[in-house]
Amino acid sequence: MLTALFGTLIVNLADAVLPGREITLEIDAFCGKLIVVVPAGAHMIDEGGALFAKRAVYGREDPDDADGPVIRLVGDARFSKVAVYRGHYDPWDQAARVVGQ
């Protein structure tokens, strides 16, 4: 479970060796910001809820990469922001901050 309560949590899975072709990330965000970086070829499925919150997936899905992992995002975000970036996220990059807001 990934939990962000009154703060920011950044989880970088871009270069991680995943335990299977499909994984499920359970989140709980309350008054916080949760940033998840996934591999560039990942197929994202966002099944969670949002109450006064923003949930977004940034980066284009490559249709040629059919072998990419499937990452399922479940759980709730309340008064929070949940952002998923494909491939690369640099918190100091000005363009990423503009896109991520």
Local confidence pLDDT in tens for the 101 residues of the chain: 999 999 999 999 988 888 889 999 999 999 999 999 998 888 999 999 999 999 999 887 766 667 888 999 999 999 999 999 988 777 666 555 455 44
In sequence order, what E strands does the chain have?
2-5, 8-12, 22-30, 33-38, 43-46, 49-51, 54-58, 70-78, 81-86
If one counts the domains in the chain, the total is 1
Residues in the chain: 101
- Predicted structure pTM score: 0.82
The rounded distance, in Å, linking the Cα atoms of 89 and 101 is: 13
Domain extent for 31: 2-100
